Amino acid sequence: MTNEAEKITAPYRLSEDDVYSEFKTSKNGLSESEAQKRLAKGKNEIISAKKDSPILLLVKQFIDPLIIILLVSSAISLSIGQFIEATAIFVIVLLAGILGFFQEYKAERAIEALQEMASPYANVIREGKEKHIHSSEVVVGDVIIISAGNTVPADARLIETHNLQVNEAALTGESTPVEKISEPINKNNLAVSDRKNMIFAGTFVIGGRGKAVVVATGMNTEFGKIAALLQKTTSRKTPLQQNLEKLGKQIGIAALLLAFVMALMGYFIEQKTFVEMFIWGVAVAVAIIPEALPAVVTISIALGVRRMARRKALIRKLPAVETLGAVDVICSDKTGTLTQDQMTIREIFTNDTEYYVTGVGYKPQGSFRINNEFVNPAYQINLMRLLEIGVLCNDTVIDFNKGEEIIGDPTEAAFIVAALKAGIDYLKLRKEYPRVFEIPFSSETKMMTTVHLVENEKLEAYTKGAFEIILDLSDKILINGIEKDLTEEEKIRIKQIAYQKSEKALRLLGVAYRRLNSLKEVGEANENLVFVGFAGMLDPPREEVKGAIRTAFNAGIRPVVVTGDYEVTAVAVAREVGILKEGNSITGPELEQLNDEQLNEIIDHTEVFARITPQHKLRIVDAFMKKNHIVAMTGDGINDAPALKKADIGIAMGIKGTDVSREAADMILTDDNFASIVAAVEEGRSIFQNIRKYLVYLLSGNLGAVLALIYAMVAGFSIPLTAVQILFINFLMDGLVAIALGVEPPEKDLMKKKPRKASEGILNRRMIEYIVSIGVLISVITFGIYFWEGTFVFSHRKLMTVFFVTLVFSRLFNALNCRSFDMPALSIKFYNNKFLLISYIISIISTILVVEVGVFQEAFHTVSLSGGEWLACIMVAAWVWIFIEVYKILRLTFSENLRTSNG
């Protein structure tokens, strides 16, 4: 049982005295005895939901219709002496079960990751003394002390702040550090990101210090609420799991019925013994049941996973690989996913001139342009002055030896990078103009001022901060390096220019200076300033994102922005990368006013969701799923974890992502690159397509064999295949060749096709028609040559051999058909799939040995064939490939002519 926080509506609305009163504490903190009483109610910990034991998890892997059918097949094979067949089936089932066990066991670690991320220790005031305790011992009412480098141990109301800045990106999705205050906020229903006088468990203090009264611990924190959502959120089965489960039942029932009927036919028509026909019927059932299906699925997915890993996408849950191929909506976080999470100065206004700065992120390569014409910044006096002030009134350092590591504030890093683009050595400049005094940034003043020693021992105060504040404090303006009076009319005009910039979601920082006669005047450093200009910056989109989003649209996939950031910023980024076109945007508070029915009405026309909370994200994902969309959710923060688990496939960031999001996700992008999702989707589509190829090949071949057997029995011929021959064909065709088809490389133009519908099974109408037509073709060809040979060949054993060889080669030719359901086999390079080539060689050699080598002839009931007979069998079997090849060519020609006439 977790510690119960006091039942109040909004701690952020309370004054300091009211906070003490509400939580029954004081400036001196709690007494030890009171703290122990409160601790007895529950520790400050994330409580995991009750989970299945490892043994129960393992047992559950085998409670599946397909697995049960395979185990029965194993027992049946064992009963007729097929020890190798039985062992192979059992090993496949065991491996599939173990794989599933490890995947589920690893997925449950998401809650444990939340526990590990909690702050290990905390500084509290108890009985007027500072004390260092384990974070699990923090209770409601404790007064905690925080400073730079601390992880916040619990949700708390700030009562004292000193330039306190907290990184809440993992909780809210906002990349910019939050400047905290201690004054009450008299507003209702504030979003977590707007509670500036609150700090939250699991967030990180990057600057300043403060004191706060704990108002919630454990599962009652915002952090804990997300953990609770994660525990309650269930993942629905992937389309592949649903289809395989259904298909397993259907094939199993059909196989048993067919085997039973055919065995009865043999018993009454052939006058065979009951035991003999039972064994033969069992062999037919074993041949029809696709015992290699789990192996094909596992191998196809495993190879796909390897290819994805090379393309920077790491798969955590194997069944989810296939789901990628059906995704038609991607709910993407903004910060760090679509953007680089690197503040960049895009535009500068100074000297009544607008400069555009090229280059993105923290790479110091770029240029300055006026109306798309390159300018040398060294000859732009005002521009150089603005950039020099920007790096002097600045505490940040960039370590380019450690991959552009930022030591300080991202906003200040943007000034450093812009200065480097202009050729300014900022470290050398800081040595030339040493700092002698500073007024740190505060949330009250919204600016920072530093005093420097310049030429001739003179002093200058440099100020940067919120644009409007800096402009209003200025009474002069720098024009061409000369100070001039700044009129009210001029201020209004500059504000109008700034407003246009802000509509592009640029964050504006003003820059100014003032000369001082001595340090005694530092109290006036922020008065009567000389306005130099302002810089507009933003977190730029990743370079690869635009192309990836275009590819997504071409593939019928709809990207949507779902972020905790402000609407104007989210809309600007969405529009720049190409997501926002004709759709709408909506904020979290607006979303709360909609019921589920109203949300369903707008969900397909909304492309940007801003100021979103974890609960909102769940509603959004759920709304898409209710409209039969296959939904992928990308994210990197704690706040994304429940939605990542709820979505059909959750995609977490590997570099900037939290442990919680990575554990809850199905896939992790190792390079945090949105473009890698597109590559993963292609692999997902390829995997599903290969599983479909395997099934179509398997079922069409099995149908052909069964129909040919039925034709022979109805026509009064002896049964043309023995149980051993049936199992031999099953081993070659349903094993080696079928598995080889399951690892075909991706076909061309996969990403130019629309995603398949969520309701579409592995075997859609076209595939079923394909199976039936090829099955009938194989049966007619195989029985045809058997019937023809029977008119002048009186050896039943030779007829059986001809039937056997023709059936084997018919199915080998059919494998060529199944490499693509659209493209002719002649257009696909055979050596692209070395596994198929090897399986062909093994199958052909094995068939020759069984027919021509004496020791095998007795076991498999075959006789040698002449060269002419071999050639006849192969040429007749080739019609299976020729017929389908001609059909594909005609179909492609017709489709091309239709496109030409419509175009």
Contact between 742 and 767 under an 8 Å Cβ cutoff? The reply is: no
Inter-CA distances, 116 with 553, 622, 661, Å: 39, 29, 13
Nearest Cα residue to 432 out of 454, 457, 456: 454
DSSP run (H or E) holding 538: strand 529-538
DSSP secondary structure string, 639-655? GGHHHHHHSSEEEEESS
Angstrom distance (rounded) from CA 632 to CA 331:
6
Inter-CA distances, 793 with 778, 796, 860, Å: 22, 8, 19
Angstrom distance (rounded) from CA 61 to CA 75:
19
Angstrom distance (rounded) from CA 284 to CA 15:
81
DSSP-derived 3-state class of residue 665? coil
DSSP run (H or E) holding 896: helix 879-902
Which residues are designated catalytic?
333
Nearest Cα residue to 364 out of 400, 396, 409, 407: 400
Dihedral sign for Cα atoms in the order 522, 523, 528, 529: positive
DSSP secondary structure string, 266-298? HHHHS---HHHHHHHHHHHHHHHS-TTHHHHHH
Taking residue 780's Cβ as centre, other Cβ atoms within 10 Å add up to 16
DSSP run (H or E) holding 482: strand 482-485
Q: Which residues of 620-651 are buried (b: 16+ CB within 10 A; e: fewer)?
A: bbbbbbeeebbbbbbbbbbbbbbbbbbbbbbb
Nearest Cα residue to 706 out of 279, 312, 254, 337: 254
Q: What 3 state SS string does 393-444 have?
A: CCCCEEEHHHCCEEECCHHHHHHHHHHHHCCCCHHHHHHHCCEEEEECCCCC
Angstrom distance (rounded) from CA 173 to CA 566:
10
Contact between 532 and 382 under an 8 Å Cβ cutoff? The reply is: yes
Contact between 877 and 809 under an 8 Å Cβ cutoff? The reply is: yes
Q: Which residues contact 331 (CB under 8 A, 6 or more apart)?
A: 560, 562, 617, 620, 621, 624, 631, 632, 633, 634, 643, 647
Nearest Cα residue to 692 out of 761, 776, 629, 630: 761
The two three-digit tokens of residue 747, written as one number:
């076909």
